[in-house]
Structure 1
């Protein structure tokens, strides 16, 4: 039944019921109207309006639920759907909205995958240029300074040694940036070793005390899953170092759920996230998590601070088609 006719027949029902009651009831209206008659008419009108409002609220309730979902839906939290209730145009509208959400989630996932893939390619290119060009130039400069130091007069050697140390520090910084942009250890030695190296880097270059708890029997993971876990751990530690004011942070990775699933947790003892809106960093982590079917949760730890949890379920094998 169309929405117009639903509203029309609801109002017709209320009006007809009120008319029948007036016809069969003992009520009359005098001229001038009496107080009791005015009270009866007022009560009847009030009852009719209340019944009409209740019926309309019942009939339009699915639309109110749809409006609330439209105002709060977030494509980074997929799976939000509304039960198809009501009939006619309302049910059709809800079903169309649910199907539209599904298409938007699929399209966003595809576009996000392309963007992140391009981002990783750009990271590799920049890391390669830093290592091959700037790194080699600084290495050559360091060798030249070392040669000149041995040939220079005594009064200039101290200044040349300072220049050597400055160049050596710059070379180390370039190498560190290149490692952050392209984690070669992840490709060469695997996720556990890459996370251990990441923790060591943060301990060496920040005041944070980082504890790691990496389960020795992690399941075999795809290269894309390992990269997502590494990047989210990296972004979480960076957020802790920049914003939390924490003294210590714990990073753990262990099997979870069905065989093949893993759970990554980064928890600090800082000031917590409070009611601050999610920034680009957290939303970027959510986008990465969606690429591997993971669920990212950011909340407060049991003793304060912030806890980032990423659960990546086991991947279902794709059934093979008929030969």
Structure 2
């Protein structure tokens, strides 16, 4: 039944019921109208309006559900759909809306993948330039300072040693930035070694007490999946250090039947902001890139838990 005939039928039911009551009920209208009759007629009109409103609300309820989903749908949380059964214009509208959501989710996933891949390529390029250009130049400066300090008189030698230390600390910072931009250990030694190096680096520079728990029988993963797991762990540790006011963080990596689950749990102040920032939305986009799911929930005792479930594709050993 189309929307027009649905509304027509609802109004016909109300008006037909009112006509039947007037035909068989002992109600008459005098001229001039008596107060009692006026009260009865106004009361009947009110009943008809209430019944008509209730029936219309019931008949148009699917449209309310579509409107509500339109205002709350988030393409970073795919799979939100409305049931559409039967025929008619409303069911067709719901099926069209569901198809539009599927198309938008595919397009969002495709565009996000292109952006993230371009971002990783740019990070790789910057890291390479920092390593080859800045790193080598600072190493040459260190060697020159050492030769100058060896030949300089004692007062100048002390100052040159101080400059050496500053340059060495700057070189260490450049190397740390290179590792954060493009973790070479991830390419060379794998995910577990990369996460171990990442947590050690964060513990050294932030003072966080970080515990690790990695399953020994982790399956082989695609390079894109390993990179997403690494980036989500990196962003979660950054949030714990900058925003959560945490002291302890637990990083766990475990295997399930058909997926690998990364969990980063801190003991900080928890999630307070109702809106997600760019960092969290970036993690969700990365999760969609590999067909995974990201959940951010309060930790069992206190703080926040970030959990990424990454599917394992292909035949595993």
TM-score by length of 2: 0.96
| Equivalent position of 1:29 in the other structure | 29
Residue 270 of structure 2 is matched in structure 1 by 272
> SS of the residue aligned with 1:250?
strand
1:305-316 to structure 2, matched below 5 A, reads: 305-315=303-313
Aligned to 1:17: 17
Counterpart of 1:291 (choices 286, 289, 292) is: 289
CA contact (8 A) 1:211 1:250 kept: yes
The correspondence of residues 201-240 of structure 1 with structure 2, limited to 5 A, is 201-240=201-240
Partner of 2:120: 120
How many angstroms apart in 1 are the aligned matches of 2:273 and 2:198? 29
1:62 Cα deviation from its structure 2 partner: 0.2
CA distance in 1, matches of 2:273, 2:34: 61
Tell me what 1:321 maps to: none
Distance 1:215 1:85 in 2: 45
- Identify the residue that residue 61 of structure 1 maps to in structure 2: 61
Give the TM-score, by structure 1 length. 0.94
Q: What is the distance in 2 between the residues matched to 1:182 and 1:273?
A: 29
Partner of 1:98: helix, strand, or coil?
Answer: helix
Q: CA deviation at 1:21?
A: 2.0
8 Å contact from structure 1 (residues 192, 214) kept in 2: yes
Rounded Cα–Cα distance in structure 1 between residues aligned with 2:5 and 2:304: 53
Equivalent residue for 2:162?
162
Secondary structure of 1:108's aligned partner:
helix
Is 1:303 matched with 2:301?
yes
Deviation at 1:207, TM superposition (A): 1.2
Shift in Å, 1:43? 2.9
Aligned residues: 315
Specify the SS of the correspondent of 1:107: helix
Distance 1:276 1:14, change over 3 A: closer
Decide whether the 8 Å contact of 2:221 with 2:312 is kept in 1.
no
The answer on whether the counterparts of 1:59 and 1:86 sit within 8 Å (CA) in structure 2 is: no
Unaligned runs of 5+ in 1: 318-323
The 1:3–1:276 alpha-carbon spacing in structure 2 relative to 1, beyond 3 Å, is closer
Give how far 1:186 is off: 0.6
Contact 1:62 1:85 in 2 (8 A): no
Equivalent residues in 2 for 1:101-180, closer than 5 Å: 101-180=101-180
1:267-296 Cα distance to aligned partner (Å, 9 max, x none)? 111111124421000000000001111111
Name the counterpart of 2:200.
200
Return the alpha-carbon distance in structure 1 between the equivalents of residues 278 and 226 of structure 2.
22
Q: Secondary structure at the match of 1:244?
A: coil
**Structure 2: gaps (5+ residues):** none
CA deviation after TM superposition for structure 1 residue 181, in Å: 0.6
What is the CA RMSD across the aligned residues, in angstroms? 1.4
